[in-house]
Structure formats: structure tokens, C-alpha cells
Structure 1
Amino acid sequence: MNSVLPSEAPTASLAAQPAATPSFRPLYQQIRDLILRSLQQGEWKPAEVIPSEMELAARFGVSQGTVRKAIDELAAGHLLVRRQGRGTFVATHAEQQVQYRFLRLMPDVDQADAEQPAQREIVECKRARATADVARALALKTGESIIQARRVLSFGGIPTIVEDLWLPGEPFRGLTAHRLSAYPGSLYAFFESEFGVRMVRADEKIRAVLPDVQQAALLQIPVSTPLLSVERIAFTYGNRPMELRKGLYRTDSRHYHNRLS
């Protein structure tokens, strides 16, 4: 990427915008977007170090402080990770603190197993055609090829979560139940390492529901057991939706925990 901003001032194209539709943005946000574009284009892979602030400042023709502020925003969004004395790295779902950012079901009493990996059982993984609802969520056309999967997550041998997943077919070509079962890490680390798809943010909807007969059987509970339903759309770079996930959570011994700041 050869994009260069010649000075600490709005570019000519920005300055030329009509007054009725102002589009000026602080320069550090422009630099943030240029760095984000490089991430999106794969210039720096997950877990790789990016150029230093000084190198990026020279590349974009701005001050080191402007670059630092841009990187601060990307680090706050978990896209980059600063490591003291080592540099700034592209965040990866293979890292422990990132793996569990989207899984917030915590034990009520003993916190020792709060970040222990769940035992996973892949119930099914198949190719299908997107229904209207799935297509809408994944920005596809109705009938387009998708991957549909169901899995059960257990903690301490107790089935706790049943999840249904829908993924666009093309980016996840070759995904099978065997590959899902064989990968030892988190699902998002699997998507990242095997398919080059990195989830960078997610939107969730939460409500209380009752399971259907099949869901209750998978969780080994009566159909009258209230469950927490978590519906998530996960996005990769460029706000592109890459996963629709609907999970049913048992909360008889665990709770859904989120820290706001």
C-alpha cells in the first residue's frame, strides 16, 4: 500500500468536500483506516509484528504521535496487541486473552475453571442453501451456498451449550465435521488459521427461551428448563458478516458475564 498523507492537515480531496456534507476526520483516524486496510488486505498476518511507529510515520508522512494514536485505537479494539519492548502485533484468536472474548459463560462458584476449554461434540456439519433469514444476516442472496453446523459444548462433562452456526460457503470451502473436531483450539482460531478469516467484532442479542425436544435432549434437560439464547453475528474486516451463531446456554450453575468500560 503506497498511500501517503503529505502533512498534518486535511488532504485536498477532503478539504474540497461541499460545506453541506462535511467529511473531515482527524488525521489519526485516517491513518487508523490505512492501517486497517493493510490488515484487511493481509499485508500483516495474525501474530505478525507490524512496522514500528517511526516506520509507519515515514510511510504515511505524518508524525509519530499521530501513528501512535491510530494504533492505540486499533489496540483498544483488539485488532492489534502492544508488547512492551517487542513491538505491536496483529491480534490473533490463538492468544488466550482473545480466545474467550466472545465466550462469557462463567461458573457461579469456582472461578478456577472460568477459562478452561470446553469439551466439544460436533453433531453435524453440512452444506446447505441459505434461507431468507440466514442470507439477510450474512449479507448473501437467498439460496446461496452456506455451511451449517451444530455442536455441543460441555464443561466438566456436563452439556452446557448447544450452538447452531451458519457460515458463507465460499470462504469456508472444505470445512467438514472432521476438521472441526480435530482442531484443538478455539473456533475463531480455527477460522483464522485454516481459512484466513479473522473475526474482529460481533453483535449479540440475548433473550430467555425454552428448548425444543432435540435441544433439550442434547443438553440432557427437561423441555421446561429456561435457557439463555445468545444470537451472534460475527464480522471480519470491513464489517463483512462471516458467521451467524445461535447458542442456547444452561444457567443452572453458570452465568453470562460481561464487563463494560
Structure 2
Amino acid sequence: MEAEISETAFELRPLYRQVREAMVSRLIDGRWQPGQMLPSEQQLAVEMGVSQGTVRKALDSLAADNLVMRRQGRGTFVAEPEEGRLLFKFFKLTADDGRRRLPDSTVTALVKTKASAAARAKLGLPPRGLVWDLRRTRFLDGQPVIAEEIVLPAGRFPALDRVETVPNNVYALYSARFGLTVAHAVERLKAVAATAADAEQLGCPAGTPLLLIDRIAYGLDEAPIEWRVSRCLTDAFHYGVDLK
């Protein structure tokens, strides 16, 4: 059996979970690249020393998390960070009329700086850790609705300031440029009042109620790779989640 899969007699995880983790490690270290076609289930089963059914179950789990894509008659491919799919997965503001819209973004600042105590705690950084502080305004229907700050560990995003244009979909940038895939995120929501800076950025009176979204995004290795704070106007929009 491949070394990546434990043969310990006391292993409690189902075998397909071990196979899945072995596959995820290939995504993390870049052996499997976005858009790449994977070997067949039969080839993977022989390589990993497990049954084809176990491989299929592991791939099904990856597909459910949008890490691989099944294409009928063609095979299984590593998922590519596609604009709409990724944005709607992580962008939960919806117009009150129910329509989903893709936001536009304008970067207002990008600086490398010493991590604050809060950033060190959120991102698990050492006392003298450095971060990128990215600030932007996000628009829906041409109106500024989100004042956003994104803090990234500088060590995992080398030369971020050399990126010619920071795209609206930064998660696609993380994947394509730095090999970091956002696997999941944890958010905390709170009602706050707009500060003077928020008011200037969003064109609203100071004291206007805002929805604050505090998010930590994690990579495939479960390490935090982004701390994001979004301060949102919600007079025409709401935060919508489909609970299943």
C-alpha cells in the first residue's frame, strides 16, 4: 500500500478517508494541478493498493467539496477556480428581491506590515510575523456596499505586491499564483455602526447600521491563510444561507 495511507492496525478512520487525505496531499504539494486530468479509478486503486470502490468513494467526497470535477465520458479533473462558482460559494449577500449578483471590487491599499496581535492570533503567526494588508471596496449594481480588509500571512504570499492586478476573485489568485486552495471558511456575524471611515468609503452617514462579517479561510492543510473583515451595507441586501 502507498506510504501516504496508514496501515496502522489501530487506525480508526475509514479507508476511503485515508485515500482522500492522500489525494488532498497531492493537491497541496502541487503534484495534481488545477485542470489536470487524474488517472483512472482503476489506476489509482492499483497505485494505492485499495479497491476501486474505495477510490471512487474518495473521489466522490472530493467532488462534493468541489475539489475535483467529474466529466461524463472524459474522466475526473482537478477543479479550476472558476469565477462564479467560487464567488457564490463564499459570497452570501443577496438582493432583497432574491437575485444573486457578482460583486465588483476596487483595491484601495496593499501594504506589507507587522502583524497586529489580533492578526497573529487569527492566522497563527509568530510575534514578529509579517502580513499583507489588502483593503478594497466592493460594489453591487454599481453602488459601494462593502468596505473590506483582507490580512494574509506574507510568508505564504511572496511578492503579492508584484501581481499586476488583484482580481475580484482573490481565491482564484491564491490558487493560480500561490498554490493555495481555500477549502473552507468560518464566519462570525455582528451588527455594528458605520465609522467615519466607513461612511466615506460607502457613501453613507456615520452611525449607519452595518453587518460585520469576520472570516477566517483555511487551506487544504487546515492552516489559516486569510483573515477577512467585511463591513456591509444591507439596506437593499441580506446575508442568505441555504441550510441543508
Q: Report the 3-state secondary structure (helix = DSSP H, G, I; strand = E; otherwise coil) of the residue aligned with 1:123.
A: strand
| Matching residue within 198, 204, 217 for 1:234 | 217
Please report the RMSD computed on the Cα atoms of aligned residues, expressed in angstroms.
2.0
CA contact (8 A) 2:19 2:55 kept: yes
Closer/same/farther in 2, CA of residues 62 and 95 from structure 1, 3 Å limit: farther
Residue in 1 aligned with 2:195?
Answer: 212
Closer/same/farther in 2, CA of residues 224 and 185 from structure 1, 3 Å limit: closer
Q: Where does 1:70-89 land on structure 2 (aligned, <5 Å)? A: 70-89=58-77
- Kindly provide the CA deviation profile for residues 213-252 of structure 1, in whole angstroms up to 9, marking residues without a partner as x: 1012101111221111111111112101110000011111
- 1:79 is displaced (CA, Å) by 1.7
| Matching residue within 42, 50, 57 for 1:62 | 50
- 1:96 is displaced (CA, Å) by 2.7
Residue in 2 aligned with 1:179?
Answer: 163
| % same residue | 36
Q: Report the 3-state secondary structure (helix = DSSP H, G, I; strand = E; otherwise coil) of the residue aligned with 1:99.
A: helix
Residue in 1 aligned with 2:232?
Answer: 249
Q: Where does 1:1-261 land on structure 2 (aligned, <5 Å)? A: 2-3=2-3, 11=7, 14-15=8-9, 17=10, 23-109=11-97, 111=99, 114-116=100-102, 118-176=103-161, 179=163, 182-184=165-167, 186-261=169-244
CA contact (8 A) 1:119 1:154 kept: yes
Q: Report the 3-state secondary structure (helix = DSSP H, G, I; strand = E; otherwise coil) of the residue aligned with 1:101.
A: helix
- 1:84 is displaced (CA, Å) by 1.7
Q: Report the 3-state secondary structure (helix = DSSP H, G, I; strand = E; otherwise coil) of the residue aligned with 1:100.
A: helix
CA contact (8 A) 1:93 1:99 kept: no
Matches of 1:220 and 1:212, distance apart in 2 = 11
- Kindly provide the CA deviation profile for residues 182-225 of structure 1, in whole angstroms up to 9, marking residues without a partner as x: 24551111121122222111111111111211012101111221
Q: Report the 3-state secondary structure (helix = DSSP H, G, I; strand = E; otherwise coil) of the residue aligned with 2:214.
A: strand
Matches of 2:23 and 2:137, distance apart in 1 = 38
Q: Report the 3-state secondary structure (helix = DSSP H, G, I; strand = E; otherwise coil) of the residue aligned with 1:208.
A: strand
Report the TM-score when normalising by structure 2: 0.93
Matches of 1:211 and 1:4, distance apart in 2 = 50
Matches of 2:51 and 2:219, distance apart in 1 = 29
Give the paired residue count.
Answer: 244
Q: Highest CA radius of gyration, 1 or 2?
A: 1
Please, which moves more after superposition, 56-65 or 87-96? 87-96
**Quick one: which amino acid aligns to residue 130 of structure 1?**
A
- 1:2 is displaced (CA, Å) by 4.7
Matches of 1:77 and 1:219, distance apart in 2 = 34
**Quick one: which amino acid aligns to residue 27 of structure 2?**
L
- Kindly provide the CA deviation profile for residues 7-48 of structure 1, in whole angstroms up to 9, marking residues without a partner as x: xxx82xx21x4xxxxx42211111111111111111111222
Structure 2 portions without partners, runs of 5+: none
- 1:75 is displaced (CA, Å) by 1.4
- 1:3 is displaced (CA, Å) by 3.0
Q: Report the 3-state secondary structure (helix = DSSP H, G, I; strand = E; otherwise coil) of the residue aligned with 2:155.
A: coil
Report the TM-score when normalising by structure 1: 0.87
- 1:55 is displaced (CA, Å) by 1.1
